[in-house]
Amino acid sequence: MLIRESVPLAPHTTIGLGGPARYFCACATPAEVREALDFGRRRALPVQILGGGSNVIFADAGFPGLVANIAIGGVTFRALDEGEVEVEAGAGVPWDTLVAESVARGLSGIECLSGIPGTVGGTPIQNVGAYGQEIADTLTEVDCLDRARLAPVTFARDGCGFGYRRSRFKGADRDRYVILAVRLRLRHGVRPVLRYPELAGAVARRGGVDTAHPARAIALVREAVLELRRGKSMVLDPADPNARSVGSFFLNPILAETAFAELVRGRRAAGERAEVPAYPAASGIKVSAAWLVEQAGYHRGFQRDGVGLSARHALALVNLGGTTRSLLTLAEEIEGAVFARFGVRLEREAVVVPAGAASR
């Protein structure tokens, strides 16, 4: 495996920020992942795992160790009983390639996750979700390499600690495992369920799914999701400056009912009439982070120091030729403004590497 020196990291990320990696390699097999970890250990260097670069922001100074890009490919489909199909994919497969292949085979379960950038291996980490589907709905197993013991380990879904945009891989076991492969269980002959009115509307405009053959209905949902995401610049497009982002920079906060009631009371007291966009969630009430950001005074299209907010979505911080430092300064300001106005602490979905790389 080739390990190169002084490799610019920005081109390996969707937001296009960050300095060089001291060392960089692409790992096409689990054995090469071991080799990369071993290289870091022998030289006492940190090793950063990189997938599709769609959720990561590297520091302007770059990364002082080895960046290991996971490039393990391969997708297999295995028919099980009763219309179920087991899909196994290498961690380096582009996620949307897997969705497209599954939809083309008439398989349902991940069609609402169309157009999400990044690789298969990144999806369990934050339990990626969109339009009412999340990877935890269909995932059965995750194959990993334990970084400390260099030993393989497989987690069944129940062992992954999935929650709203969360998992053990992002929580207690952050950076402990390298994800090598993922297995999902998808279904044949099932009509998609449309949980989000925005998606249902886009599907209805394309003729609806009620009378369509199930395979056609699934394809229709994919087309509609791609159209919606494109309209928000949430699909990779090098020609679209609004897409030079990490997608949603902040998570939608889930508030306890009392905290939500407090927020609503505060707004009423201030004479605000507009409703707070909120949805029931498993552990409280989910509030739209994009709405909080705009209400705190940061609007779509805002620009400063070469960074800003996408003109099409307030949650996407965009790089317009700036630096990581200017982006993180803006992020901190937005966090401060939302907290000052609503008492809500926004949590970042994007990961900054090295951890703790600060804006100043």
Residue nearer to ligand NAP on the CB measure, 23 or 131: 131
Q: Where are the alpha helices (DSSP H) in 107-236?
A: 197-205, 214-231
At 313, phi and psi to the nearest 5? -160, 120
What span, in angstroms and rounded, lies between the C-alpha atoms of 252 and 285?
Answer: 10
Task: Tell me how many degrees the CA angle 179-183-187 measures, rounded to the nearest 5.
Answer: 150
Least distance to ligand NAP, CB of residue 252, Å: 5
Residue nearer to ligand NAP on the CB measure, 337 or 351: 351
248 binds ligand NAP (CB under 6 A): yes
Residue nearer to ligand NAP on the CB measure, 128 or 236: 128
97 binds ligand NAP (CB under 6 A): no
Output helix, strand, coil percentages for the chain, rounded to the nearest 5.
30, 30, 40
279 binds ligand NAP (CB under 6 A): yes
Altogether, the residues listed in the chain come to a count of 360
What span, in angstroms and rounded, lies between the C-alpha atoms of 308 and 306?
Answer: 7
Handedness of CA 27, 29, 32, 37 (dihedral sign): positive
At 43, phi and psi to the nearest 5? -100, 5
The CA-atom distances, in angstroms, between 109 and each of 70, 127, 295 are 25, 14, 35
Choices 23-31, 40-48, 68-76, 125-133; region in contact with ligand NAP by CB under 6 A: 125-133
The string of DSSP codes covering 24-62 is EEEE-SHHHHHHHHHHHHHTT--EEEESSSSSEEE-TT-
290 binds ligand NAP (CB under 6 A): yes
Least distance to ligand NAP, CB of residue 65, Å: 26
Q: Which residue of 39, 95, 131, 155 would you call a contact of ligand NAP, by CB under 6 A? A: 131
102 in active site: no
Least distance to ligand NAP, CB of residue 4, Å: 29
> Which listed residue (165, 183, 229, 244) is catalytic?
165
86 in active site: no
What span, in angstroms and rounded, lies between the C-alpha atoms of 107 and 101?
Answer: 9
248 in active site: yes
Choices 35-43, 185-193, 284-292, 294-302; region in contact with ligand NAP by CB under 6 A: 284-292
Q: Which residue of 129, 241, 306, 354 would you call a contact of ligand NAP, by CB under 6 A? A: 129
Choices 140-148, 172-180, 191-199, 295-303; region in contact with ligand NAP by CB under 6 A: 191-199
What span, in angstroms and rounded, lies between the C-alpha atoms of 356 and 334?
Answer: 18
Q: Which residue of 72, 87, 130, 350 would you call a contact of ligand NAP, by CB under 6 A? A: 130
197-236 binders of ligand NAP (CB under 6 A): 197-198, 232, 234
Residue nearer to ligand NAP on the CB measure, 107 or 315: 315
What span, in angstroms and rounded, lies between the C-alpha atoms of 318 and 304?
Answer: 11
64 binds ligand NAP (CB under 6 A): no
Q: Which residues bind ligand NAP (CB under 6 A)?
A: 128-131, 196-198, 232, 234, 247-248, 252, 279, 286, 288, 290, 315
Residues classed as catalytic: 165, 248, 349
